[in-house]
Amino acid sequence: MILRTVLAVGLAGVAGSLANALAAVVFVNPALWVLALAPGRYAIAALLAIAIPVIYRILPGAWGALLALVFLTMVPSLLNKLVFGGFAAWPVVLALNFVYALAALVAYRLVLGSRPAEDG
If one counts every other C-beta atom within 10 angstroms of the C-beta of residue 80, the result is 19
Is the model more confident about 16 or about 119?
A: 16
Domain coordinates in residue numbering, the chain: 2-112
Give the integer Cα–Cα distance in Å for 69 and 62.
11
In the chain, the percentage of residues whose pLDDT exceeds 90 is 72
Q: In the predicted model, what is the mean pLDDT of the chain?
A: 90
Q: Name the residue among 12, 19, 96, 100 with its Cα closest to residue 54.
A: 12
Q: What is the mean pLDDT of residues 29-44?
A: 87
Give the model's pLDDT for residue 114: 64
52-100 residue pLDDT tens: 999 999 998 899 999 999 999 999 999 999 988 888 899 999 999 999 9
Give the model's pLDDT for residue 115: 59
Give the integer Cα–Cα distance in Å for 28 and 106.
23
Per-position b or e across 28-39, b if 16+ CB within 10 A of its CB: eeeebeebeeee
- Please tell me the least confidently modeled range out of 13-22, 70-79, 111-120: 111-120
Give the integer Cα–Cα distance in Å for 56 and 58.
5
Task: Please tell me the pTM assigned to this model.
Answer: 0.88
Give the model's pLDDT for residue 119: 43
Give the model's pLDDT for residue 118: 52
| Confidence tier at 2 by pLDDT (50, 70, 90) | confident
